[in-house]
Structure formats: structure tokens, C-alpha cells
Structure 1
Amino acid sequence: MNKIKYTTALLLGGLLSFSSCTDNFADFNSTEGAYTDELQKYDNQTNLVPFSTIQKGIIYQTGVDGTDWQYQIVQNLVADMFCGYFHDMTGSFNANNSTYNLNNGWTSAMWVYTYGYVMPSIADAEALNTEKEWPLYHAITKILKVATLHRVSDYYGPILYDGFGTADQKPQSQEEVYKRFFEDLGTAVNILKDYKGGISFESADFMMPEGKRTPAQWLKFANSLRLRLAMRVSNAAPELAEEQAKAALDAANGGVLETANETVGEYGIRNPLGGVAGWSEVYMNANLESFLKGYNDPRLKSYFNPAQDGRDKDGNIIKEVAGVKQLGSIEGDYKGVRQGTGVADNRYSTHSQTTITTGSKIIVMSAAEVWFLRAEAALRGYTSEDVENCYKQGITVSFSQWDANGVSDYLESEETPAAYVDAFDKKFDADAPTSITPKWDESATPEQKLERIITQKWLALYPEGCEAWAEQRRTGYPQLIKVAVNNSGNTISTDDMIRRVFFNQDYKTDNKALYDALVGKLGGADNGGTRLWWDTGRNNF
């Protein structure tokens, strides 16, 4: 087993430039610590060992205390912020991604860690688990590979997918790789729906809830993932999207996620978002404040903790933070940080922080998301389902997932997002980005219906920023508050907002052949203003 891993690492050669340490590598690449080759022969451990790394690598983490910073630079300082969920209160962070002055060490981390740690284990699993000998493991490998690599493509565009670590390895365009995603998911679905049992994956499975670690549940996940990606390409390739959406929702293929207790995640593993939050570096983004407070959304208290006024060393309220005077009390309120202020101090340190802890389950995909996908598929005419019913089911399942009350009133709410009021400087105030309401309006235009669907989907996807950012770019919804300061050097439009992150800039000198090949497949400049293939800038109906 290790021969494959080490060979792959050798073949990578100059492909990856590591600017970070590789702490806990051995633990990261085993199911229960260290296994010798001999021990791995028992209970199919030789086949199962790679899956621990792969499952942890979807939403990147090691599950080990002390490595949460890796998740922070892979996702929290990138997609989690750009999607409008989170922001760091630390002034030093405002000089980089927040103001579109992209930090290469952060924006390259998704690529570096996925291809440095996760893809070698995917290559192991592909080599070990052939369809003929190990059909169940073969199918699950394909599902996990797509679940991992579509996130990478949604950051950069072109990626390495087929032939990884071999002489045939070469970049593929996003259009090419998405078609391969569908092929691999189709293969997995065909295997799983006909699987008769005999081999179990339960001992290595920590993504499905207890009691649901079955081939049938993995089949539901495969179909749900297929539906997610089908809607992702709906503006760029509507015929392909319709074909894949219909296949995903074909009852004969095994169904999709439908209930709150079917959340696909990572159970019993340290949540790295909670680790970063423990350093007081995960705060509410002003966009979530606008929508959650404007809607009087009952999920607000499940998502964030209240803010507080400034205090001196004795705990007395002084209404001043980092030497900056507050304009009014925020005690007990829910306050977010606007992206792109560029302030150099820590004035927002008393604002609302996430409730996510290291013990919270890591959410990869929820049934609520799937209901919103079904709503959009019906809106586009791909299915005959009732759009309004699917939309309401999405909200209802999300409320159930977060143990929130009041869903009936919320579904009838005509509240709108609130204006953002900065606690310290009025120049950072912002009008509400939209007037869309939770209440369904059957007389609305298809575009207005899509905005309503995606806005609620965005609220339900929390705290999974990669998916939220991809969908916001694809559809333009929810409409977000723009950055106050744009330091991109005119490569990113303030109005159009950031569209992607650039490839590892070290490759320009360390691996120019790879860099040039990736940019060639991108079809545009390697900067944050270039749209990805599925990001057409319009919604086709």
C-alpha cells in the first residue's frame, strides 16, 4: 500500500511547493494510527486505510489538535469569507484577501493540501479497489474523489483529475473535468444500486450518521452530489444539466437525501472551524447579519453568539475597543464585520462569533440543500415537481436540522434584509443588498424565484462556505454587500466581486510547464476577476 503512496509523491516532484510543515502526517494517513502492511491485510484494512485521509480531506482537516490553521488558510480566509458567512476581526487580516489583495499562501492552500495529502490516498484507493474485485470500495472511491475535487475546481477552474501521479497526468479544463465528475458518479450509482452486499464499509465510514452507514445511504449521497453538480452547470450546459438532474432524481437510481437526520458530514472528528473559532478568529460577516437579523431568522441564535460592548480590564463597559469609540451600544445584539474595510486594528473583537465548536459535526451536504436543488431543477423545467413545495421543504428541513422553532411563521414572512450599520464608522454602513422575502410569491418572475430559492439555500448551507461561494458566483444570489476597499490592482471588479482564486504563483518559477498548462485551460487571465466555465454571468431560463 505504501509503495503506491510514495511513488505518487515521487512523481509529483516539482508539482507541489510546500510552504508549510507536514505535522501529524502519519496520523493523518491512517484509520486508527499506525498499521503495518501485515496488519492491514486483516479485515480489508489494506483497502480501507486510504479512506480516512480522503474523508478528512473533503473539508480539509486532519482531526488532530494543532492543525486547525490548515483549514483556516484552505477555506476560512477564502470561501468562508467571500461567500458572506465569516470574517476575522484581526486587523492584520484586512490587508489581504478581505480587500482583494490576494495572499498566495492562502489562496494556494486548497491546491497544495489536496494534491499533497489527499490525492495520493485517492490514487491508493483507485489502485487497490478495482470494480471487479472490490465494487463497493470502488464506487465509494469515485464518490469521494468527486466530492473532494469539485471543490478544488470551484476555486481555480482547471485541475488535475485523470492520471494523477502518472506520465499521463495533465490539466483538464473545468468543462472537461465536470463531465468526468458525472461519468464517475454515474459509475458509482450503477454499482451501488445493484450491490448485493457481502463487503461492508461501515468500519471506515465516519461521513454517514450512525445507523445509516450503508451502501443505500452512499447511493443517496452520490445522487445528491450529482444533482448539486448538475445545477452548477445549468447556465453553461443546460442540456447536460437536465440530463444529470433527471438521472439524479430518478427513483430507480436509489433516491436522494430528504430528511434532517441524513446530513452527510464528518462525525466524531475534530471540527477545525471550531478550532479557529477558539482563537477568536471566526466572526459573523456583515452579510449574514443583514439577512438573519432582517428576517428575524430563528436560526440566528444557533449560528452565532451575541456581541458585547467594549470593556476595560475590570470588566466595566467603556464603549471603546482598540482605542476606537463605539457609536452606540451593541450589548446583546448580533453584529457582523463588513468585508474589505481595511482597518488595521482589532475594533471588531467584541462582535458576534460562531457557535461552531471542535465538537460540532462537519457538514458536507445536507438534505435541506438537496430540496433547494430540487426547487431549482423544477423551476428550470427539468422535473415536474412543485417548485414552491420543494422550496418550503428546504426551509423546513433546515430549521429541523438546527432545532429552530417558528418555521410556519417564517414561511409567511414578508420581512426583508436589514441595512448594515457599522459599530464604529458610518462610512462602512451599507444599504440592504436586496428586498427579497422568505414568503414564496408564485406571481414572481423566474429570476425572482431563483433569487428567493438561492438566498434561502445560502442561509441553509451555513457554515459550508465552499458550496455557498460557488452558488453565489453561479447565480449572483444572494446579493451581497460589496467590499469597502478594493486593493486588487484593478484585476477584480468591486461590483462583479471576486470570481475565483489564482493558481499557486510559485509555479511560475518552480513548475512553469504546469502553470502555463493550467492557465491555457483556464481561457483567461490568472487572477481573481476571471470567471470560471460554469460562471456565465447570467441565469438562463
Structure 2
Amino acid sequence: MKRNIIYGLLLLVAALLSSCDKGFEELNTDPTKTTEAYPYQFMANALINSVSYNMARNRTFNNELMQVTVSLGDGDGKVFRYDFRRSWADYLWNSHYTELTNYKDLYLKALEGINFNRSYQGISLLLQTWTYSILTDTYGDIPYSQSNLGRDSLILEPRFDAQKDIYLDMYQKLDSANTLLSSNDIIEAIHDPVYGGDVSKWRKLCNSLYLRLLLRASHKADVQDMVISKIQEILTNSSKYPVFTNNDDSAILRWTGEGAYRSPYMNTRAQDFRGVGICSFFIDFLRDTNDPRINIPEYGTSGINRWGIAPVSGNFVGVPSGYAAGTEEYTRMSYFYSYDQNSGVNSLQTEPLTGIIMNFAELQLIKAEVVLRGWVAGSAEEYFYSGAESSIKLWLPNWDVSIRAHLAASDVQWDESAGFEEKMARIHQQKYYALFLVDLQQWFEYRRTGYPVLPKGEGLANNGEMPARLFYPVYVHSSNPTNYKLAIAQQGPDEINTKVWWQKP
């Protein structure tokens, strides 16, 4: 009898537990929320992060190498003296590989059922290429074909692809992106922080970026014929390969100051932002050519300019880069104003235009170079002036001075009678300023061309040689040892003077 009672109670408990479980999952699922991700959810936040990472490394690394700024001091680890620690390598590597996962997920989601959207697929391929290009131009050979596969394919130690192979595949990705974007599938403006849903402008960015990367490898004998042929195809077939046509096409993530769109420069303490001196190389040309970006008080209080550069006793004075530690004391001269909500002073800390991905002026100066090299018909002079003018008008759209007269007044105009190298120097003098704030592009272009010609201070380390790359992150040595060793056997020693593929003769 007792045994039967116990057995009955157990059956009752089991029945009760079973009934309690029925509908549990449905009851605890919020019907107003979805468990599925949509393509657009991967795009805006990843773009904000990517641009922020580039801006951080532009300010503290590119600008110091390329004589935009000088972080004064006699201590070790001064980038402006070509002296920096291996730990500098980690930030850009870690950050961009993280966002590559998001860009790849964007592509995968845009392939699925009701989410199918060729515009998002094209944008994904474009943003992957843009990100990989910055990584490979910074480090050389990098994980590419096997990168970001740890989650889905359990490839935790990816191989390092040769930079030549990476470039050839990036070209294919951009061709595919151009085709996908030609479909003009709709993307909502609210989810697009760069072009507000205008897919045609994403397509123009795709092909303008294509020209940047083609030009970077154009001197390599083993790919030169193919590269020049593609440059010609893009620049002579605008219906198939549309490119930027004006400043409105420039790819800029504008910082509105609202919500997530708050400039990452606002995370820098005011005293640190204004504590870095502006280099004499950068500011002397702007001052001596009466450049309106630092001379017209269009924004803020009287005497304050669009780039927010502080004069010294009414003049713009910089600090020479690469000065020897302990041999001469320099004080900060001109500097970038920091944000002060009460002063009305314009500052790059709050400037909406600092999130530049690529601008129209760069494209025009690319055209000037390829015409000068004889690869495409046209007028290098016209493209030179268009690039110089567009660079200024990006910041000062109402500037109405003749660009020819403006440059001639300082004897930096185009000289048709000059030789090839002098013309290249003039083009890249303007390109240097067009690339102001554009991730590490000034450094990449200097390594490709040797322009602009930078003065060499007596205090430079590394035998005065401009670094050719960053080290690989230290943790990669232990986390991916086999492929790390193969990479340095293939590319050369993991040192800053080891040239990447497109730098080698």
C-alpha cells in the first residue's frame, strides 16, 4: 500500500513538472523583440568604430611621422623621432580585425531570404577591402583569406597571405562590389551614416578607392600592365565605373554630436589635445601661401580658423620635427585649439568633417598623377588645380578665390615647363594637405613616392629612415607561432625597415 502511494505521488510530481514546462519558452520570449539580426545592424556601429580607430592612429602616429604635429619631449618612444615601442602595433590590428567580423556578417546576412540586398553585399565587400587595405599597408603580409574564421570554422591560427595576393583579391572584391552596387537595391537613410542611403555614392566610393589601390601597386613590374589597364578602364568608362565627381561625393562620417555620432576626439582631454605642437613643415606652407583654412575666421570668434589652429602673437609658428633630444629646447608654438563650449572657438575636437574615409580632392590628384605618367589622356594641370581647390572647398565651400591666382601668388602653381619630378612634387604637396586626417594615407603615399620631401632633424632614430611598416603585435608570436615564422620568412624580419611588397623595387 505504502509503495503504491509513493509511486502515485511521483507520477503526480512528474505530471506537474511537465505541465509547468509547457509554454515556458513562449512565455519567456518578448514578442516585440527579434532574435534575428538584420544587415543594417552591422553597418553603422562598425563604421563609427573603424573611423574612430583611424582617427586615433592618425592623430598620434601618422601625424607625428608625417610632420603634422610634434609631441614635445626628450623621453623615449617619440614617434616624431622614428622611435616607438612594439606595443604601438596592437591597437590598429586588434581594432580592425574586430570590425572585419561585423563587415563579413553584414555580407552573410544580406544573402539571407527576406534580408537579401545586393547593396549591403556590395558595401560589405567595399568596407572589407578598405579595412584590409589599411591593415596590409601598415603591416605588410597579414591574415586575409583565413582571417576572422575562428567562430565559424575554428581556424584560430590563420595563415598570413602575401601582400601581392591580398591586393589582387582586393581588386576582385571591388569589381564585385561595383557590380552589386549597380543593382541599386534600397538601403534606408537612417541606417547609413555616410551617404544617407544613396547607393550611387557608395558605388562612386568603391571605384575611387579602387583607383587609390591600383595606383599604389602601379610600379610593380609583375602586375603593372594589368594595373594600368584597369586604371584606364575605370577612367574612360564612367557608366560602368562611376567615381567621385565633386566634394558632395566625398566619403565622410560626419560627427553631429548626437547619440553615437560624437567625435572620438572628444574623448581626449582638452589639455592633451592642445598640448601637441604643430610642426613647422605642416604650418609653414599654409602660412606662406595664405591658405584660407587657417586664415579665414569663418567659424567661431574673430581670428579663429576652420582648422582651429592657434596663432602665436598673430602669426603661425611651428616646431621642427626630429630635433635632437637634450640639444635644444623647443616650446609649443601653434597648436590645435581644444573644445571649450563657452568660447565659441572652432576646434577639430568637435569638427563634423574629421571622419574622412576618402575625399574628392584625393581622386583628382590621383588623376593628375596618372595623366602625368602618360597612362590616361587629359590635362594633369587641370586635375592638379581641381584637387587643390576641392581640398580647400571641402572645408570652406563658400571660398570664391581663383585657385590659379591663389597658388601663383606664392609661386606654387603648376609649371607646365617643369620636369616630371617637379610636377610630381607639386601634385603631392597638394595631396599631403588633401589627406590631412585621412587615416594613415599620408604615410602610405610618402612610402610609395617619397613625396612630399620631409626635412630630417638631427635627432631622428632609425638612421633617419622613415619606417616602412609597423611590427606585428607581440602576442601574435605566441598565439600564432607557426604562421608568424612563415610570414617573416616570406616577407622579411619583423622590423620597421622591412619594406612591404609594393614598396620593394
Return the letter of the residue paired with 1:147.
Answer: W
Q: In 2, Cα distance between the equivalents of 1:226 and 1:339?
A: 33
SS of residue paired to 1:515: helix
| Alignment-derived partner of residue 131 in structure 2 | 148
Aligned residue for 1:332, secondary structure, equals coil
Q: Aligned Cα RMSD in Å?
A: 2.8
The C-alpha deviation readout for 1:400-420, integer Å capped at 9, x for no partner, is 1121453435554263xxxxx
Structure 1 runs of 4+ with >6 Å offset: none
The 1:254–1:202 alpha-carbon spacing in structure 2 relative to 1, beyond 3 Å, is farther
Note closer, same or farther for the CA distance 1:246–1:286 as it changes in structure 2 (3 Å cut): same
Output aligned runs, 1:289-308, within 5 Å.
Answer: 289-301=283-295, 302-308=306-312
Secondary structure of 1:534's counterpart equals helix
* Higher alpha-carbon Rg: 2
Q: Is the 8 A contact 1:37 1:46 kept in 2?
A: no
Q: Does 1:186 align with 2:175?
A: yes
Matched residue, 2:252: 265
| Structure 2: gaps (5+ residues) | 1-29, 296-305, 338-346
d(CA) in 2 for partners of 1:294, 1:196: 46
Equivalent position SS for 1:296: coil
Q: What fraction of aligned residue pairs are identical, expressed as a percent?
A: 22
Per-residue CA deviations over 1:187-244 (Å, capped at 9, x if unaligned) read 0101222x153x3242221112x5xx31111111101110111111112242232133
Q: Please name the residue that 2:82 is paired with.
A: 100
Q: How does 1:400-419 map to 2 (within 5 A)?
A: 400-403=393-396, 404=399, 406-408=401-403, 410-413=405-408, 415=410
Distance 1:141 1:94, change over 3 A: same
2:315 partner letter: D
Partner of 2:437: 463
Query: d(CA) in 1 for partners of 2:230 and 2:447?
Result: 21
Q: For residues 113-192 of structure 1, what are the structure 2 equivalents within 5 Å?
A: 113-115=95-97, 117-130=98-111, 133-166=116-149, 169-192=158-181
Instruction: Give 1:536 shift.
Output: 3.7
CA distance in 2, matches of 1:466, 1:407: 30
Q: Do the aligned residues in 1 keep the contact of 2:76 with 2:83 (CA within 8 Å)? A: no
C-alpha change, 1:378 and 1:120, in structure 2 (3 Å) is same
How high is the TM-score relative to the length of structure 2? Answer: 0.79
| Mapping of residues 2-13 of structure 1, within 5 Å | none
2 CA distance for matches of 1:239 and 1:274?
46
Tell me how far apart the structure 2 counterparts of residues 118 and 204 of structure 1 sit (CA, whole Å). 17
Matches of residues 520-539 of structure 1 in structure 2 within 5 Å?
Answer: 520-521=489-490, 523-536=491-504
TM-score, length-normalised on structure 1?
0.74
Identify the match of residue 81 of structure 1 among 41, 60, 64: 64
Give the number of equivalent residue pairs. 435
Q: 1:220 to 1:531 in 2, by over 3 A?
A: same
Q: Secondary structure at the match of 2:262?
A: coil
| 2:225 corresponds to which of 221, 236, 239 | 239
Whole-angstrom distance in 1 between the partners of 2:78 and 2:136:
22
Q: Report the Cα distance in structure 2 between the residues aligned to 1:240 and 1:37, rounded to whole angstroms.
A: 55
**Could you tell me which of 21, 45, 63 is aligned with 1:53?**
45
Between the aligned partners of 1:515 and 1:38, the Cα distance in structure 2 is 47
Question: Counterparts of 1:390 and 1:162 in 2: how far apart (Å)?
Answer: 37
CA displacement, residues 22-69 of structure 1 (integer Å, 9 cap, x when unaligned): xxxxxxxxxxxxxx9974578xx52111112331243234xxxxxxxx
Aligned-pair distance for 1:80? 2.3
User: What is the CA–CA distance in structure 1 between the aligned matches of 2:63 and 2:31, rounded to whole Å?
Assistant: 39
Matched, 1:451 2:425: yes
The CA distance in 1 between the partners of 2:129 and 2:94, in whole Å, is: 17
In structure 2, which of residues 253, 263, 268 is the aligned counterpart of residue 276 of structure 1?
A: 268
What 5-or-longer segments of structure 1 have no aligned partner? 1-35, 62-69, 309-330, 416-436
* Bigger helix share: 2
In structure 2, distance between residues paired with 1:517 and 1:218: 37
CA distance in 1, matches of 2:75, 2:208: 36
Residue identity matched to 2:102: S
Q: Could you tell me which residue of structure 1 aligns to residue 350 of structure 2? A: 358
